[in-house]
Each structure stands twice: as structure tokens, then as C-alpha cells.
């Protein structure tokens, strides 16, 4: 999230971000990264967990020049998100928006049509907008992935591992930013640590792509 947001703000010139599935706030969070590059950046955070949004409202404050808003909604409710007052007051959908879907689609089952959801969001965003997706995979460590999925299946959450090819489908019709769909620790790394995690330990693919 840090590296993709820096790229979008510093190199792609994006000033608006829609982060769906934002999770418990950490620091630096997406708006801190974006506004650290572009102080007037605008960010809408969306999550379906009221505890997450309570933390967000308490902890996340942006720059005076920028704007940050929070919305309690589910990724699978695109009409509610795109039609929300929070989004309308914060983002200008006639200008490029970076849609950030970080580590959320492994909680979206195939029957919820994850690819259709992405298309629904992208359809309302103008040319020059960007999509960022990261997703858990079983390509590199299938036994460990199965065990992790079993843990989630014991809770209310699904856990869907997708292959590199399946993850690449999220970007159909878009222009992938180099290096394309890659393991996230290898996507434009700040540095390569010799004692860092192995590919199998990471087991998450990610990419950024531009809407033509």
C-alpha cells in the first residue's frame, strides 16, 4: 500500500483515492502517504466493520489542504458507496481516482462476482483512473494456504485463494504498470533484504493498472 500510493501520488499524478476495505488504521496510512506527497490529496476510506470506522474517525486526521472521509459500507454494495454523501463531498468523479482494493478480495467468494464488482466501480471512474489490487494466493505454498483458509472458514469470513492468472483478470482492459502482477514484496521494492521473507511466505500478488 505504501509503495503503490507513493507511485500514484508522486509519479501518476493522482490526487483522489477511494480505499475500500481499509481495515484497522495503521501509521502511516494511505492518506498520510498520499498527503505527504500531495498535501491536497483527498481520500475516502470504506469498511464494513463499525469498529474500524470508529478507530478511523478517532485516529485519522489529514492535512488542512486535503480532505479525508469515512464510510461504513461493504465492498459488495457499490451503489451505496458510489452514491454516498461522503464520497460526493470528497471526490470529484470527473477527475482521476485511484481505487485501492488491498487484501480484500480473498474475503469475497466467487458467487459474489468479484470481477463484476471491480467493473462496476471502474465504470464510473474517468479515464486516467487507477486500480490497485492485492490478493492472497496458493500458487507457492498450497498446503499452508489450505490451512490458513480452514482457519477463516471457522469464522464468518470466507478465504479464497486465487492464482496469478485469476488475479490478473481483475485488470482486464486496463494498462498494467510495470512490473505487472507481481508478488507484493517484489513490486517496485525500496530495497531487497537478503533476510527478508521468501516468496512462499508472502504469497500475495498485487498490481496497479490505469484505466485508458
How much is the mean pLDDT over the chain?
A: 90
Average pLDDT score over residue span 101-122: 96
The cell for 94 is 470527473
C-alpha distances (whole Å) from 19 to each of 39, 41, 99, 111, 121 are 17, 13, 6, 23, 12
Lowest-confidence segment of 16-20, 49-53, 112-116 by average pLDDT = 49-53
The pLDDT of residue 3 is: 96
The Cα–Cα gap between 69 and 20 comes to 12
CATH of domain 2-210: 3.40.50.150
Q: What is the DSSP letter of 112?
A: G
Q: What percent of the chain has pLDDT over 90?
A: 72
In the predicted model, is pLDDT for residue 164 greater than 70?
yes
The pLDDT of residue 158 is: 76
Residue range 87-104, pLDDT digits in tens: 999 999 999 999 999 999
The Cα–Cα gap between 187 and 180 comes to 8
3-state secondary structure of 23: coil
C-alpha distances (whole Å) from 150 to each of 1, 108, 110, 208 are 26, 15, 17, 29
Contact assessment for residue 175 and residue 125, using Cβ atoms and an 8 Å cutoff: no
Range of 34-38, 129-133, 188-192, 194-198 with top mean pLDDT:
129-133
The pLDDT of residue 125 is: 98
In the predicted model, is pLDDT for residue 142 greater than 90?
no
Q: How confident is the model at residue 63 (pLDDT cuts 50, 70, 90)?
A: low
Lowest-confidence segment of 7-21, 55-69, 133-147 by average pLDDT = 55-69
Amino acid at each position: 500500500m505504501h509503495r503503490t500510493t507513493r507511485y500514484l501520488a508522486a509519479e501518476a499524478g493522482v490526487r483522489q483515492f477511494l480505499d475500500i476495505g481499509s481495515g484497522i488504521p495503521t501509521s502511516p496510512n494511505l492518506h498520510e502517504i498520499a498527503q505527504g506527497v500531495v498535501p491536497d490529496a483527498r481520500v475516502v476510506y470504506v469498511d464494513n466493520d463499525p469498529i474500524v470506522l470508529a478507530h478511523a474517525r478517532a485516529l485519522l486526521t489529514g492535512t488542512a489542504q486535503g480532505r479525508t472521509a469515512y464510510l461504513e459500507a461493504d465492498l459488495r454494495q457499490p451503489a451505496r458507496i458510489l452514491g454516498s454523501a461522503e464520497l460526493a463531498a470528497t471526490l470529484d468523479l470527473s477527475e482521476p481516482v485511484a481505487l485501492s482494493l488491498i487484501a480484500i478480495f480473498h474475503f469475497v467468494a466467487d458467487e459474489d462476482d468479484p470481477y463484476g464488482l471491480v467493473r462496476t466501480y471502474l465504470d464510473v471512474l474517468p479515464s486516467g483512473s487507477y486500480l490497485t489490487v492485492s490478493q492472497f494466493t496458493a500458487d507457492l505454498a498450497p498446503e499452508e494456504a489450505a490451512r490458513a483458509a480452514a482457519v477463516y472458514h471457522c469464522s464468518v469470513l470466507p478465504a479464497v485463494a486465487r492464482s496469478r492468472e485469476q488475479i490478473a483478470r481483475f485488470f482486464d482492459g486496463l494498462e498494467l504498470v510495470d512490473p505487472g502482477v507481481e508478488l507484493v514484496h517484489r513490486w517496485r521494492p525500496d530495497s531487497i533484504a537478503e533476510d527478508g521473507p521468501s516468496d512462499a511466505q508472502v504469497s500475495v500478488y498485487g498490481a496497479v493498472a490505469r484505466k485508458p
